[in-house]
Amino acid sequence: MKLTVLGCSAPFPLDKGGCPGYLVEGPGGQVLLEAGPGTLSSLGSVRAYASVAAVVLSHLHADHMSDFLVLRYALEAVHHLGLRSEPLVVYAPAEPAALFSVLPYRQVVRAEPLDESRRVEAGGLSLSFLRTQHPVPCYAVRFEERGKGLVYTADTSWAESLVGFAHGADLLLAEATLMEREAALGGQTGHLTAGQAGRLGAEAGVRRLVITHLVPFYDADALRREAEDGFGGPVEVARPGLEVEL
């Protein structure tokens, strides 16, 4: 399994690449996880559009899904070129319904609603989901393949259920939107501090922690230090182009 970071700034891009977009590659293909602004220009090639095995949108906030609306056009083009014949399936929460309703597109995109009972097999990976604490329905994702686990928190404030969900993961990709001094905002905004991201990694006993969903005007080193205090070990900061092989 391999994670590639396409973009990790949120909730808007500045000068450090686009908003959340990740590729998770298994033995049978690539799952596109999130499609925030900038994802498609990082994805790069018509081949990538043709071969993506599935798309998972953790939730329907624009910083995680706006490029999906444009991906629909790319899919139509690759079908027209004969590079793909199967519709792409996008998994996303069914609410807000007005946003979910714009995901399916002609014959080329089919949308499937996410909930905690859903199990997805895509790209040779097994995916499971956990509802997070966020102002709109949002799901953390666990990818499993041959005994390796990658867990993505998506957007969330602190929730004990995340500890069990991330237990023993080889890699935790955790949002770290807030600095510790803003911890009081976590509950209202539905986000973790960098220190909480670190503590989540420690309590879940993960091997490796990468922090993401980075507010572009914060100092990434300061966020990393706060995450390392919580984790009790080295933490990596996501950046476009970062690849992690599991």
The residues binding Zn ion (CB under 5 A) are 10, 61, 63, 155
Measured from the CB atom, is 108 or 154 closer to Zn ion? 154
d(CA 89, CA 94): 14
Residues comprising the chain, all counted: 246
Q: Give me the numbers of helices (H) and strands (E) for the chain, helices first please.
A: 8, 14
Minimum CB separation from Zn ion for residue 61, in Å? 4
Residue of minimal Cβ distance to Zn ion: 61
Measured from the CB atom, is 66 or 161 closer to Zn ion? 66
Minimum CB separation from Zn ion for residue 48, in Å? 23
**Smallest Cα–Cα separation from 24: which of 164, 110, 94, 127?**
127
d(CA 146, CA 157): 30
Measured from the CB atom, is 96 or 168 closer to Zn ion? 96
The dihedrals phi and psi of 66, each to the nearest 5 degrees, come to -65, -35
Minimum CB separation from Zn ion for residue 19, in Å? 7
d(CA 107, CA 86): 9
Measured from the CB atom, is 58 or 79 closer to Zn ion? 58
Minimum CB separation from Zn ion for residue 10, in Å? 4
What angle, rounded to 10 degrees, do the helices at 194-204 and 220-231 form?
30
Measured from the CB atom, is 25 or 34 closer to Zn ion? 34
Minimum CB separation from Zn ion for residue 225, in Å? 22
Kind of pairing between the strands at 88-92 and 54-56: parallel
The dihedrals phi and psi of 209, each to the nearest 5 degrees, come to -125, 130
Measured from the CB atom, is 63 or 228 closer to Zn ion? 63
Minimum CB separation from Zn ion for residue 175, in Å? 7
Angle at 11 between CA 230 and CA 216, to 5 degrees: 65
| The two structure tokens encoding residue 226 | 């706060």
